[in-house]
Amino acid sequence: MVGKAAVQEVRLVVGATLPRATRWMADELVKLTRDTISAQRSMSISFAGGATPRGLYELLASPLWRARVDWSKIVAFLSDERCVPPRDPRSNYRMIRESLLDRVLIAPRNVHPIPTESGDINKDSATYAATLTSLLPTGPGGVPKLDCVLLGLGPDGHAASLFPGNEEAISNTSLVTAVSPPFAPTPRITLTPRIFNAASHVFILTAGSLKAGALAGALAYDASVADHPVRSIAPVAGNLTFVTDVEACESLNDVKLRDDITTIRL
């Protein structure tokens, strides 16, 4: 879609620094979990890999923050995974567990890692799609609805494991698909835009000047999805929020921006 995305609202939240933006994201998540849990008694979150999301997880798990979320009512999924064993240092699940889930009172039965050990990544993808379908309520278009999706943004414009040039993964009608990134030695399993776009709240966390080109591509009026896969993420009945710092916004003045962005400067 060129120009206007099909979302209710696109917010661009800009912190002077990454720590400031991360604190805003943590506070927003605290408010969102409180409101969602009071309305529906639980809340599903899909967690992203990457260093920027990790900073949020470590903050949420810190003594001043961990009690601000009722983790007993949270149901955790992953937005994508590398096809390695769960204890492998490259595993997103290991990172998310060590930085957050092992440090808060979330019920083990409510933690749903992406399976990676059957030896068949297509089977693992189908298994996870079935897990999402069985555990989540039906959302827009009959698609399982996640309450909250957390994502990072790669310097090449990827989000989750939706990489430039991989139109098949981006347009896939499945909820979950296996991909072989052009640069990475390991295949990956990723949720697809189909399920991301049925979510209520999608947050994309990115910072630093290395991401300036990717953020400009995400927010430009006429960038292509093929070049910037993050543009395929446009919740049909939900909100999309980019949480970033001043450095990552360095290239926004170089492009004509989409006309549906609300900017919040912290």
Sheet holding 188-191: strands in order across?
80-82, 188-191, 176-179
Provide, rounded to whole angstroms, the least separation between the CB of residue 190 and ligand 6PG: 7
Among residues 36, 91, 92, 200, which is the contact residue for ligand 6PG, using CB under 6 A?
92
Does 51 sit near ligand 6PG (CB under 6 A)?
A: yes
Provide, rounded to whole angstroms, the least separation between the CB of residue 80 and ligand 6PG: 4
Among residues 69, 77, 80, 189, which is the contact residue for ligand 6PG, using CB under 6 A?
80
Give the separation between CA 80 and CA 132, rounded to whole angstroms: 13
Does 229 sit near ligand 6PG (CB under 6 A)?
A: no
Residue with tokens 């996640």: 146
When the beta carbons of 215 and 260 are compared against ligand 6PG, the nearer one is 215
Among residues 48, 75, 114, 230, which is the contact residue for ligand 6PG, using CB under 6 A?
48
Contacts (Cβ under 8 Å, ≥6 apart) of 25: 13, 56, 203, 205, 243
Distance of CA 27 to the CA centre of its chain: 17
R_g of the chain computed on alpha carbons:
17
Residue 210 DSSP label: G
When the beta carbons of 137 and 182 are compared against ligand 6PG, the nearer one is 182
Select from 193, 206, 186, 196 the least CA-distant residue to 251. 206
Select from 189, 183, 170 the least CA-distant residue to 232. 170
Q: Which helix (H) or strand (E) holds 39?
A: helix 18-40
When the beta carbons of 41 and 183 are compared against ligand 6PG, the nearer one is 183
Does 213 sit near ligand 6PG (CB under 6 A)?
A: no
Task: Looking at residues 108 to 167 of the shown chain, list those that interact with ligand 6PG (rule: CB under 6 A).
Answer: 152-154, 158-161
Interaction site with ligand 6PG (CB under 6 A): 48-53, 80, 92, 152-154, 158-161
